[in-house]
Chains A and B, each alone.
Chain A
Amino acid sequence: MSPLSSTETPIAEIPGDTLRERIIDDLRTHIGADLLDSLLKPGDDLWVRVNTSAWRQTGVALRSMGFEYFCFLSAIDWMPSPFGKGEDDPTAPPTERDDTVRQGYAGGATRMQLLARVVHPSLHVGVNIKCDVSDSEPVVESWSPIFAGANWHERETHEMFGIGFAGHPDLRNMYLPSEFEGHPLRKDFPLLARMVKPWPGIIDVEPMPGGSDDEEGEAE
């Protein structure tokens, strides 16, 4: 019996890395070269990045491997916010900011990335799956035929990031009015409350009286 189909072994007794390495190998046999990159933190978590065209296929493969529990689906906009943390004085000239797009674990090539997580219900091991979403045509195949729960998550992602899902039954807005323009969780969407009045609260720690400014002191 392969470790992926055992049900009784508690997670603590399985050496995390061999189990997760096996998951990567299993996934590679299913989707082949569409598995672009992976990152494994032993005993902690696993990240894989797949080809955009193989997004649905990956969902099918993972489900057949026993990852039946759908945890969440969302996206990440890797562009640094042109507005910073909203701490600027709106009347002053705009500050110069680094605008290079740097992707996180398991790499990437585009500004937008889709992120989903599925979990194996008896092994209690999860996989974070990422895929690139192109700027010119931000459409990915829907997961809702595979995991029914992806329906609402995709609606939310569509509304917040402007990513389309081909094959989704009903991509209506989840929270915002239907005539709302823009995608609020994109980094280039300004947080209006901060645009009107800069927030002083970003300076979290005030200098101590006496002028000691060492950062290694004890908290509080």
Chain B
Amino acid sequence: MTSTESLIDRKQLAYIASQAADARLNVELETEGMTLNIGPQHPATHGTLRIIAHLDGEQVVWAEPSCGYMHRGYEKLTEVRTYPQVTSLVNRIDWLGSFANEVPFILAAEKLMGVEAPPRAQWIRTILFELSRIANVSLFLGDLGVQLGAVTPVFMAFRDREHVLNLIEAATGGRFHPNFDRIGGLKDDLPEGFIDETRAVMKKLRNFCTEMEDLLFGNEIFQSRTRGIGVIPKDIAMQYGLSGANLRACGVDWDLRRDQSLPMAWDKVDWKVWTHPDGDSFARCWIRLQEVRESTLIVDQLLKSIPSGPVMAKVPRIIKVPEGEAWVSTENPLGEMGYYVVSKGDLGPFRTKIRSASFNNISIVPWVLKGVYVPDIITILASLYFILGDIDR
């Protein structure tokens, strides 16, 4: 057994022992069960997720999320739309990192058509993808503070996310829903001055990360509320299909940007995949912070090496995708986001299975909330990080 594994074991044992002590106390005090409804409208939940928690004293006996308050039926809607129209739908799945949702769908369609975007388009796609990650996760870092009772971080997060949104707006014309990716490339080239501006913003974002690290992650209260809380072991995380930072926080060295070959520019630059052995709430938040910083470094390198040329390959004006099936997934801000596209040689997809990260990430909630204390519910949910649109689709 390695040292990291024994560390997790010790923490888990201590946690289980403390829970057992509390359970004994509850028996002595003859406590009664109580059902607590968190949400669908509660300031501490992101959007409209409802958690039904059955409590015994201060401890959760069982808890279960209740989904469907934002189900929009995108899988059905893609069946009545054409390929270029689908990107405007999938933009709204994870609304904080919209551009990143378009990319896997477009890549799946391109794979079926045998089209590859020109190098410049691949570079710009990767830059915008990483910018949406930065915008998405920086808001998470701010929001994390609010969930734990710290108000300052969220203002800092909104301040610095604004710079990134301005960049996305300058390039695509849309702050939240760019709808910029096209089969065969991109709608447009980058605007003038984008590269210099982005460099300056990336520097600001790195400062933001350092500030967050000092302010939040170094904070004693933050640490005591997240360390050892909501520990998820590696094999459980795999079974539930946890992805992204949640999986890497369990010590699994797996990043779809590095570990599969896609026509994107991630393999052209030098960067690091962060992992953490603990698998607790702190690890999940810490990984995300490191990933924002790593993303800014990726963007900086890509800006240096961006090739010239067209941003659109030669594709027919009316796009018909040949018959076939394709699966493409990418490492989105929330985790693995993939599309299983079935084409019948028509103008639109025959069936699209949207595999969104949050659906799998939240399906572990009944397992991980068993036995925790009421205030920890919010910490664990915040650290798992979900977007409602990404659960319900």
Contacts and interface: CB of A to CB of B under 8 A. Distances in A.
B144 to A, nearest CB: 25
B318 interface: yes
Interface residues of A, number: 54
Contacts of A70: 238-241, 360
B252 interface: yes
B327 A204 contact: no
B327 A11 contact: no
B318 A126 contact: no
B235 A124 contact: no
B317 A117 contact: no
Contact of B338 (A12, A71, A80): A71
Given A148-B236, A220-B187, A205 B317 contact: yes
A81 to B, nearest CB: 7
Contacts of A10: 259
Contact of A201 (B68, B85, B259): B85
A104 B241 contact: no
A153 B364 CA distance: 12
Given A147-B239, A215-B317, A72 B353 contact: yes
A115 interface: yes
Contacts of B360: 70, 72, 149, 152
Interface in A53-84: 68-72, 74, 76-77, 80-81
A185 interface: yes
B237 to A, nearest CB: 9
Contact of B82 (A77, A194, A204): A204
Given A205-B317, A219-B316, A176 B325 contact: no
A137 B240 CA distance: 28
A47 interface: yes
Contacts of B329: 71
B73 to A, nearest CB: 6
Interface residues of B, number: 58
A80 B238 CA distance: 35
B80 A194 contact: yes
Given A11-B261, A124-B260, A68 B235 contact: yes
Interface string B339-350: 010101001100
B352 to A, nearest CB: 10
B342 A104 contact: yes
A77 B317 contact: no
Contacts of A74: 340, 353
Contact of B259 (A81, A124, A151): A124
B327 A68 contact: no
B340 A85 contact: no
A88 to B, nearest CB: 11
A70 B236 CA distance: 10
B392 interface: yes
Interface of B: 67-68, 71, 73, 75-77, 79-82, 84-85, 111, 182-184, 187, 235-236, 238-241, 252, 254, 259-261, 312, 314-319, 323-327, 329, 336, 338, 340, 342, 344, 347-348, 351, 353, 355, 359-360, 363-364, 367, 392
Ranked nearest first, the 8 interchain pairs of A and B with the lowest CB-CB distance are: A175-B68, A149-B240, A175-B71, A152-B363, A72-B355, A124-B259, A70-B241, A149-B241
13 contacts: A47-B325, A69-B241, A74-B340, A81-B79, A85-B81, A85-B347, A104-B342, A121-B238, A149-B240, A152-B359, A191-B80, A218-B315, A219-B317
Given A105-B324, A148-B367, 6 more contacts: A104-B325, A148-B239, A191-B77, A204-B82, A204-B347, A215-B318
